[in-house]
Structure 1
Amino acid sequence: MFMKPLEFDRRYGELDQVISACTGMPADDEPDEPSEALRAYLRHSWHTHPWALATAERQIREYARNPPGRLRLSLGEFYPVPDVGLPQSAIGDWLFVIADHLKRSIEEGEVPPPAAPGTHWEWHARFLELGQFLGGWFSQDMPDEFPDHDAAVRDYTTTTHPQLLARLTGELHELLALALEEPEYAFAVAELGMEVDPPQPYSPSGWLAHLADTLGRFKADYGPGPTATD
């Protein structure tokens, strides 16, 4: 019988976040040097929800101390670590190295300075709504679904809750505040799911600035206001 969501989160929720951050990246953490993937997790977590780091350290260490056998995994009672490019016999030691890095970061207050995301996972963790917007409305199918970019933006604004519109606007301003070079903005929007070019005559950063301005002027329709007789 598979675990219910609450039990899974209590036992493996933050462990899963760390493993997700490492999936697809080299698992080359050393005792004196965290991997690029772990640095990305630390940077994002310290600046958004630092209280989760201790939970991650505990869950990872407990899992490494008591690895599940095949039967428990088949019953869905344990978290199955995805393929991270290491032999099964090396997973436990790798997890202990990660737990030690997390513990050291917490105890010594090693807060990574703000920086542009360094991994695919970090781009999407930091710019969650922007990833939903670009990946959902500006995939390679966009030209078949909408006559132009403005029509896709209008469809998003008319079908999305105003609070999510505000979140997207904030993420656009945050991305622009990174002050990246133009090729880096092209890379950023591609990482976040955009599979078509910006509309002419905009560069990637120019279109992002245009979007931020356009969405910043958006006003939700709350229906007719009170009349003089109300």
Structure 2
Amino acid sequence: MPLSPLEHDRRYGELDQVIRAYAGQSADDTPDRPSRALVAYLRHTWHTRPWALAVAERQLREYAEHPPGRLRLRLGEFYPVPDVGLPEGEIQGWLRCLADHIGHSIEQGEVPPPAVPETHWEWHARFPELAQFLGGWFSQDMPDEFADHDAAVADYRATTDARLTARLVGELYELLALDLEETDYALALAELGMEVDPPAPYSPSGWLALIAGRLGGPRADHPPKETDGGWNGRH
């Protein structure tokens, strides 16, 4: 019978995260050098979920040692490794290579230093709410759905939980803190799903700063609360 979501996550959840990191990237890992995709996975996971690395190493190695047969794959009882551009006969060795690199990183404490995201997966893993905002409100359909960019921002704020909006503001400031060139900010916006240009006369970073300021202020329907009791600055 097909795997339940719980069983899938228990047996293959972190393996799936590793494989997703290869979307649009080459699976060109060698015993001496991890690929760009794996370095991106290691960098992000070390700095956000370091405990998950040991899970990934174990799941990769177990899958490589006990690959599913065609029948079990067809029945949905095993995780099907997506096409990464390698011949079927090389997949097991490649998975072992990934497990070896992750295990070495853990044992030696080799942590990739913080850096600008290098892959599509890493951009979305690092800035998930910003990707939701840009891809959902600033796709190529935006001009048909909203009068202008300000209207799209206002709609996001009106329809999104305040806690997610706060998360978006934090991601906006984190992106601005990377201090990229404007051309690189434009590429970052495209990677994160934006399919229209920022409004004139703003540069990409200028528009991001503008949005962060607007969304970071109090909502009109939620004015700041006055302090009850004690010293409140009034006589």
Q: TM-score, normalised by structure 2?
A: 0.93
Alignment of 1:40 with 2:40, yes or no, is yes
- Cα distance in 1 for residues equivalent to 2:144 and 2:163: 28
- Cα distance in 1 for residues equivalent to 2:99 and 2:209: 40
* Structure 2 gap segments, 5+ residues each: 226-235
Q: Residues 7 and 199 of structure 1: is their aligned pair in 2 closer, same or farther, counting only changes over 3 Å?
A: same
User: 2:159 matched to which residue of 1?
Assistant: 159
Query: CA offsets, 1:174-198, max 9 Å, x none?
Result: 0000011110000000000000000
Alignment of 1:203 with 2:203, yes or no, is yes
Report how far residue 114 of structure 1 moved. 0.5
User: What amino acid is aligned across from residue 56 of structure 2 in structure 1?
Assistant: A
Report how far residue 32 of structure 1 moved. 1.0
User: 2:55 matched to which residue of 1?
Assistant: 55
Query: CA offsets, 1:37-65, max 9 Å, x none?
Result: 00000000001000000000000000000
- Asked if 1 retains the 8 angstrom alpha-carbon contact of 2:165 and 2:215, the reply is yes
Q: What CA RMSD, in Å, does the superposition of the two structures yield over aligned residues? A: 1.4
- Asked if 1 retains the 8 angstrom alpha-carbon contact of 2:124 and 2:131, the reply is yes
- Asked if 2 retains the 8 angstrom alpha-carbon contact of 1:21 and 1:37, the reply is yes
Structure 1 residue ranges, 4+ long, deviating more than 6 angstroms after superposition: none
User: 1:127 matched to which residue of 2?
Assistant: 127
Spell out the pairing of 1:68-217 with structure 2 (5 A cutoff). Answer: 68-217=68-217
- Cα distance in 1 for residues equivalent to 2:52 and 2:219: 35
Query: CA offsets, 1:71-123, max 9 Å, x none?
Result: 00011110000000000000000000000000000000011111010000000
| Partner secondary structure for residue 7 of structure 1 | helix
User: 1:221 matched to which residue of 2?
Assistant: 221
Query: CA offsets, 1:198-230, max 9 Å, x none?
Result: 00110001100111111111337359x9xxxxx
| Partner secondary structure for residue 38 of structure 1 | helix
Q: TM-score, normalised by structure 1?
A: 0.95
- Cα distance in 2 for residues equivalent to 1:63 and 1:136: 36
- Cα distance in 1 for residues equivalent to 2:204 and 2:166: 21
- Cα distance in 1 for residues equivalent to 2:22 and 2:92: 15
User: 1:228 matched to which residue of 2?
Assistant: none
User: 2:14 matched to which residue of 1?
Assistant: 14
| Partner secondary structure for residue 80 of structure 2 | coil
* Structure 1 gap segments, 5+ residues each: 226-230
Query: CA offsets, 1:134-172, max 9 Å, x none?
Result: 000000000000010000000000000000000000000
- Cα distance in 2 for residues equivalent to 1:143 and 1:113: 40
User: What amino acid is aligned across from residue 148 of structure 1 in structure 2?
Assistant: D
User: What amino acid is aligned across from residue 95 of structure 1 in structure 2?
Assistant: L
User: What amino acid is aligned across from residue 5 of structure 2 in structure 1?
Assistant: P
- Cα distance in 2 for residues equivalent to 1:169 and 1:24: 28
User: What amino acid is aligned across from residue 134 of structure 1 in structure 2?
Assistant: L
- Asked if 2 retains the 8 angstrom alpha-carbon contact of 1:68 and 1:78, the reply is yes
- Cα distance in 2 for residues equivalent to 1:78 and 1:158: 42
- Asked if 2 retains the 8 angstrom alpha-carbon contact of 1:22 and 1:84, the reply is yes
- Cα distance in 1 for residues equivalent to 2:172 and 2:16: 28
- Asked if 2 retains the 8 angstrom alpha-carbon contact of 1:19 and 1:81, the reply is yes
- Cα distance in 1 for residues equivalent to 2:24 and 2:198: 28
